[in-house]
Structure 1
Amino acid sequence: MSAEPLVLERIDAGVAVLSYNRPAKHNARNDAMTGQWEAALDRALADEAVRVIVLRGEGRSFSSGRDVGELGQRPDGASDEEFIARAQARQLKILHSAKPVLAALKGYVLGGALETALSCDLRVADPTTRLAFPEIRHGLVTDTGGIPLTTRLAGPSRAKFLAMTAESIDADQALRWGLVDFVVEPEALDERVLELARTMAGFDPEALAAAKSIADTSVTEDLAAALRAELVAQAGLFAARRRAGL
């Protein structure tokens, strides 16, 4: 018999749902899971039938981050720099995806898993959610965008607090800080995320991609650059509608 997959995949009305599947380990991410997860993400990004991607976890947690049993291990003899660069490349697939990526958060959302969640376009949490960067306990820092993404969303002082204390915050605190966008009861979590995803999946994918790109440009560039991005995107969308006779 084949082993249970470490990442579950399904497509629901244009929405690809990718689920971490090590519930007994709070979905701690080992190298095998990471490989399956990246392959599943690549399939969802390449599938034209998929308009929106949802990330979630089986069991009680989204993910407790890197499996501490493999902390510091490097597959295939990779150097530290190569290992981190590969992890950052995986993160950039979400950040640069033209398709919206949503996260359903519950239980532990720690370390690299929190960095993945912060790379998503929207985050919905339930009251069991605990967010933290425990890396400092191991003499380390975040390495796939945790500090810069938290700084963008919540400000530098809050990024420093999380990165320099390893303390966790709950869903309500994360909502107040802007690290999650909605908090719903546990029984409503998956349905609320799917509701948002299905709504987005019903819209024009080029318009969705433009909206995501403009919002990101507004954070990383000055207002003039963001306005220029809106102008270029909107002009292109109008032209596409005319070509389609709309």
Structure 2
Amino acid sequence: MDAEQWCERIPALTEDVHRDRRAVERYATAVEEHLDSLPSPERRTPEHRAHARQVRRACDGLRARFLALHAERVHSELADGAGPAGGRGHRPGLEGLADAAGGAFPGLLPDRDRLDAEQRLALADKEGLDVALGVFFQALLRSRPGGSRLMERLLRPTPRARDLLSGFRCEGRADLGAVSVERRDGAGYLTVHQPQSLNADNNGFVAAMETAVDQVLLDEGVRVGVLRGGRMVHPRYAGRRVFSSGINLKDLYHGRISYLSFFLRRELGFVHKLMRGLVVANEAAWPGEVVTKPWLAVVDSFAIGGGAQLLFLFDYVLAGADSYVSLPAAQEGIVPGGANLRLGGRGDSRLARQLLLGGRRIRAGEDTARTFFDEVVEPDRLDAAAERALARLDDHAVPANRHLLHLAEEPPHAFQDYMAEYALHQALRVHSPDVVERLARFMERPRPAQSAVPR
């Protein structure tokens, strides 16, 4: 059958969840069997790829209609522990929720084996299975009661952070690979160590950052958190600190950037925790069931993409006079995390469009840099300026006031609604043919031996 015939075969749904889930399972199974009859994804012709994309989108549309009718039922069954986690043990967080949904509602999501196999392919060879995940999480987040519960669960400490906490409390430091964390004089210093890529973001960075943020928030000896980039070995920046060069485009091109473990976990994990804090609710915790602390960012050289997005979350941002920010996600073809929400809602609308749609670069000395930076000093004065800023933030009244400021600037329901749309649109954008074309041009550009130079 051609793609149009597959669209014509989409079953009608009712309000009977049992009948509808069987219809979704039968159709999704037929789709998988049909696509399995084609050559493997990396060997398909352009015609095969276009056909597979259309058939998968038809199936994703059916899943979206099922969830529009039954999202609360799905939430309820998953909250009650229905559905096995893929038969191979439970995985926490977003991955575990997807596993449970696939077990409780066969056909609602591709099975874990397919998702894992696709993760090993280059982006150009992927079928776009992540779009089904985007449909699923969009529906869960759109649901006000169920989505709110999900948001709260994702604000809890990760198992890894809990496992490492006693060691951090004793030693005052932890090396998490892409990020290190150290406690000194009441401050928790997070330093990004990705010198081979100018501190570019990837899956490992997101996991390490969430663990580091959790440890800072859980450790009673830390009153203020600080984020700064480490020193580089790249020939153009040897010995200099760099804040962030954004998403690692080389990893994205080669398929090593995960939709769940990077795009969604980043925004709903450590980014959300930087703003809201940690939920550590228990009967003995009241009124401190949410732990929040002030945060300082120190920007050296540049904050590109994801690095620039983070600056909206910090209570004070210092920058070297030679630094700059940019948000090139639109030029890369993807969505820049929560930047559309935060820059669009708090800043000048024309500036927001210049940054988000036009890729404008803003240098620290420009007047418009005040959108991102509180204070700009010469690079050799950043350490002293950071000490002064820390002293101002280290005040008992600051956590409560920053909590209320964030509630006013970005109410939880506004973030939840935004993330529901982000969940789907980012999945669609990442798997759009034009993104692969843009990345291929980036990979073909002449550049130094080290990857991920500033865009």
Which of the two has greater strand per residue? 1
Residue 212 of structure 1: how far off its partner (Å): 0.6
Letter in 2 for 1:92: H
Between stretches 23-32 and 103-112, larger displacement belongs to: 23-32
Between stretches 40-49 and 64-73, larger displacement belongs to: 64-73
1:215 pairs with 397, 405, 421, which one? 405
1:117 aligns with 2:307: no
Q: Which residue of 2 aligns with 1:173?
A: 366
Residue 167 of structure 1: how far off its partner (Å): 2.1
1:38 pairs with 210, 213, 221, which one? 210
Local SS of the residue matching 1:40: helix
Aligned ranges 1:1-246 → 2 under 5 Å: 5-59=177-231, 60-71=241-252, 73=255, 80=259, 83-89=262-268, 90-97=270-277, 98-143=292-337, 145-173=338-366, 176-201=369-394, 203-204=395-396, 207-220=397-410
Residue 74 of structure 1: how far off its partner (Å): 5.6
Between stretches 63-72 and 124-133, larger displacement belongs to: 63-72
Aligned residues: 212
Residue 117 of structure 1: how far off its partner (Å): 2.0
CA distance in 2, matches of 1:126, 1:43: 28
Local SS of the residue matching 1:94: helix
CA distance in 2, matches of 1:176, 1:7: 27
Contact 1:26–1:108 under 8 Å retained in 2:
no
The CA deviation string for residues 103-145 of structure 1, in whole angstroms up to 9 with x for no partner, is 00121211111111221111111112110111112222212x1
CA distance in 2, matches of 1:42, 1:118: 19
Letter in 2 for 1:86: R
Structure 2: gaps spanning 5 or more residues: 1-174, 232-240, 278-291, 412-455
Letter in 1 for 2:205: M
Shift of the 176–56 alpha-carbon distance from structure 1 to 2, 3 Å rule, reads: closer
CA distance in 1, matches of 2:182, 2:202: 22
CA distance in 1, matches of 2:222, 2:335: 34
The CA deviation string for residues 206-243 of structure 1, in whole angstroms up to 9 with x for no partner, is x222211232344347xxxxxxxxxxxxxxxxxxxxxx
Q: Which residue of 2 aligns with 1:243?
A: none
Higher relative contact order (CA 8 A, sep 6+): 1
Answer with 1 or 2: which has the greater Rg. Answer: 2
* Identity fraction in percent: 26
Contact 2:316–2:389 under 8 Å retained in 1:
no
CA distance in 1, matches of 2:382, 2:345: 25
Structure 1: gaps spanning 5 or more residues: 222-246
RMSD: 2.3
